[in-house]
Structure 1
Amino acid sequence: MSFNLIARKVRDTGLPHGLRVSQLRSCVQLYRPIGFHATLSFLKAKAGHYSVDEDALLRALEVLEASRAAWHTELRVFDEVRRRAKHQGARQPRQAERNPYREMWWSGAPREGALHALSFLLERRRIPVATGDAVAADLERCVVACLASGGALGSEQHLLLADCVRSLRARQIPAGWENDRAGYFRTRDLLRAARHVEIAAAGCVSDA
């Protein structure tokens, strides 16, 4: 079922409230720019206790729909930029180019979404810092600094974050999936947290 059809059920006052909340969660399954649970948490922070409040439920859906609409706009802009670049001979996107097809952030409010995701992950201990993992410990310091400043990082913190990302990417070898699945997923989760820090820091610069 499409996102828009499920969204109509969220708005259907003839349905039990609990079912409408379930339909909102189904919408989030289809569009979860900062992860399923973090997206639900962000909607609650923005809209209120939608699980028990009618108005909050509608606000939560509106927040989600607004971000999704902004994401679709980003996709259209990216397609147009790529079309022009290909016409000029650039067949592949630049590595530094933000690609809304390959990764997602909270479109319309990327810094706010990234900061909420980091806070959510940190509070629930979902940033997997393994004992003796110096890279993970350094990344956690970057996360704490990012949250404390509202996104901004100092020059040394930027360098530390870049070192963390390089080290974590070096761990992502194809054989890692078969040889150490727990380590593979831990590295993936750390890289996702690092990306939230990058987006929050970049958003802080662009908002200045």
Structure 2
Amino acid sequence: MKSDRSLPTLAAVSYGTYERRVRNDSLPHGVRLAAFNGCLERYRPIGWEASLGYLELCAGPLERDTSALLRAVDMLTTSRNLWLVERAAYEETRRAAKRCGRRTAGKNEPSPGGEWLWLGAERAAALFALEFEYRSRGAVQPGLKPLVERSLANGGVLDAKDRALLSRLRADVDYYRTRGFYREKPDWMAWHRSSDTFRLLAHIRNAAYARN
């Protein structure tokens, strides 16, 4: 079968192109839904599955409701636009720092949008992602489980003791991933577990320190 080289690959299609297809009411719903999935491949602030689940929770069933699909792409695009603003500001800050000789970003210099952060709905999305990850991943390290459950029970709010615990757990994961991982004989299962822990901690932090 002859391939159609005129069809763009996923990497060649921009978020904006996919968004316009979603909004094009002359296209069948299935085509618009596929375009929405393309948007989500381009921008998935809390991970693909969690982002899709959160959008369906807020907007409605995307597979059969065009109005829900439009609400979802509005939500996703609003967050992405906020991220683009933060990214532009970050890039300008980095350019200024480089002119002053600081070629590498500092450890405490936040990246645009933070880690696993849904700009515009930070706490609600973080709590959804936290519960989604917690229920779907199953077992987590013993010291983390009570913190996850308290965060969910308290709507993301942490007291001083839990904030200190969050910082300590995050430092432990950072140490393992930067200096404790034995690359000569890598334990990839442990590495993937640390990735899961890192993500859960990010959701807890985003809920606790949410701006909105």
* TM-score, length-scaled by structure 2: 0.84
Structure 2 matches for 1:169-184, cutoff 5 A? 169-172=174-177, 173-175=180-182, 179-184=186-191
CA deviations 1:26-74 (Å, max 9, x no partner) are 2111111100000001111121112111100100011111111110000
Structure 1 pair 105–127 and aligned structure 2 pair: CA distance change class (3 A): farther
Is the 1:114–1:196 Cα contact (8 Å) retained in structure 2?
Answer: yes
Residue of 158, 162, 167 corresponding to 2:167: 162
The worse-fitting range, judged by mean Cα deviation, of 11-20 and 56-65 is 11-20
1:69 maps onto 2:81 in alignment: yes
Is the 2:46–2:125 Cα contact (8 Å) retained in structure 1?
Answer: yes
Q: Distance in 2 between matches of 1:146 and 1:37?
A: 21
Q: Distance in 1 between matches of 2:183 and 2:129?
A: 26
Is the 2:116–2:203 Cα contact (8 Å) retained in structure 1?
Answer: no
Q: Distance in 1 between matches of 2:139 and 2:82?
A: 31
The worse-fitting range, judged by mean Cα deviation, of 181-190 and 86-95 is 86-95
CA deviations 1:94-133 (Å, max 9, x no partner) are 3222212874411222222211110211232x2642xxxx
Residue of 18, 34, 45 corresponding to 1:22: 34
Is the 2:15–2:39 Cα contact (8 Å) retained in structure 1?
Answer: yes
Q: Distance in 2 between matches of 1:101 and 1:158?
A: 21
Which amino acid letter does the alignment assign opposite residue 75 of structure 1?
R
The worse-fitting range, judged by mean Cα deviation, of 38-47 and 12-21 is 12-21
How far 1:17 moved relative to its partner? 1.4
Is the 1:128–1:190 Cα contact (8 Å) retained in structure 2?
Answer: no
Residue of 45, 48, 58 corresponding to 2:70: 58
Q: How many residues in Structure 1 have an aligned counterpart in Structure 2?
A: 198
The worse-fitting range, judged by mean Cα deviation, of 109-118 and 66-75 is 109-118
Residue of 25, 42, 45 corresponding to 1:13: 25
Structure 1 pair 128–187 and aligned structure 2 pair: CA distance change class (3 A): farther
Which structure 1 segments of 5+ residues have no match? 130-135
1:197 maps onto 2:204 in alignment: yes
Q: Percent identity?
A: 34
The runs of 4+ residues in structure 1 deviating greater than 3 Å are 83-92, 101-104
Question: Which residue number corresponds to residue 6 of structure 2?
Answer: none
Q: Distance in 2 between matches of 1:54 and 1:149?
A: 35
How far 1:6 moved relative to its partner? 1.2
1:141 maps onto 2:153 in alignment: no
Higher helix share: 1
Is the 1:176–1:183 Cα contact (8 Å) retained in structure 2?
Answer: no
Question: How large is the RMSD of aligned CA atoms in angstroms?
Answer: 2.1
Structure label with greater radius of gyration: 2
Question: Which residue number corresponds to residue 132 of structure 1?
Answer: none
Which structure 2 segments of 5+ residues have no match? 1-12
